[in-house]
Amino acid sequence: MILERLSLRGKTAIVSGAGGEGIGTATSLALAEAGAKVVAVDIAAERVQDTERRLRAMGGECLGIQADLRKKSEVDRIIAQAVQRYGGVHCLANVAGGMQPGQWGRLEDYGEREFDDVISLNLRYVFLICQAVAKHMIERQIRGTMVSVASVSGIASAPYHAPYGAAKAGLMALTRSMAIEWSAYGIRANALAPGSVKTPRAMAGSAMDMDERAKGNIPIGRVCQPDEIAAGILFLLSPLSSAISGQTLIVDGAATAKFPLMGQTNKYAPEVRVEAPRP
């Protein structure tokens, strides 16, 4: 019964940012394994082709589309092609986004163009594709689901990447509003906020082993893997989460759950003794 409710058999799912062997690729694989027909969208043709090849190798159905999600005409084309191939769209996973190396910087020096670029890549496109998919679902009376990848950077502060944090905070606020407005049509909308994730892009930008650096910052002692984020997305898209909407699921190894003054209060903590179980 429970496993059946994780199934997306007979559903079509668009995955934005589906390539790159990170969260998008892992999400595409997870949704295909759950039975969904996957529309894999990415801005780079080679990444689209790689994800398409992987899904077909595992026996899944996949339509790869190269597109720039920041353009409304491209978003409309994605939905039109998905409908032409599979008849309708039931699920949407927004994974595209992130920060480029040159987009980090101090707020007092941050440029307007750079700010706009970060907002466009992490918030504006989510509005465009969610709006277009919602219109499609409403017109066809599809009780669909949407999940957008946010970030823990949108929950607390985001030093030296403030526009990204602002965009992700806006994404979570937008998700709550979508969940309320579209609930009348049976559409659910949620967000998922990862912490550090061991993606190829993250590893390329880190001079130190990510897991080693995580030991002092993340309670579980390591960073998350892309397939762990994908598992959360699958859960939120599936019927197993049928009563969950307008929420943000945090997947960060308990990093944001830590007591902020733990380093100052450890000396006051009582000694913990573990006794062997009695026979």
Domain-embedded: residue 184? yes
Domain-embedded: residue 277? no
Cβ atoms within 10 Å, residue 96: 26
3-state helix, strand, coil in the chain (%, to 5): 50, 15, 35
**What local confidence, expressed as pLDDT, does residue 142 receive?**
98
**What local confidence, expressed as pLDDT, does residue 199 receive?**
82
Domain-embedded: residue 273? no
Contact 31, 91 (CB under 8 A): yes
CB < 8 Å & 24+ apart, contacts of 172-181: 172/248, 174/123, 174/126, 174/127, 174/130, 175/146, 175/148, 175/150, 175/246, 175/248, 176/246, 178/130, 178/134, 178/146, 179/245, 179/246, 179/247, 180/246
Range of the domain at 44: 7-268
Measured distance CA(144)–CA(184) in Å, rounded: 12
Q: Taking CA 212 as the corner, what is the angle to CA 29 and CA 268, rounded to the nearest 5 degrees?
A: 120
Domain-embedded: residue 262? yes
Block means of pLDDT (10 residues each) for the chain, 279 residues, are 92 96 96 98 97 96 98 98 98 96 94 97 98 98 98 95 98 98 98 91 69 82 95 98 98 89 53 51
pTM: 0.91
Domain-embedded: residue 2? no
Domain total of the chain: 1
Q: Which DSSP helix (H) or strand (E) runs through 75?
A: helix 72-86
Domain-embedded: residue 51? yes
Rg of the chain on CA atoms, in Å:
20
Q: Which of 106, 196, 111 is nearest to 160 (CA)?
A: 106
**What local confidence, expressed as pLDDT, does residue 42 receive?**
98
Question: What CATH number corresponds to the domain at position 237?
Answer: 3.40.50.720
164 counts as catalytic: yes
Q: Active-site residue among 110, 125, 160, 164?
A: 164
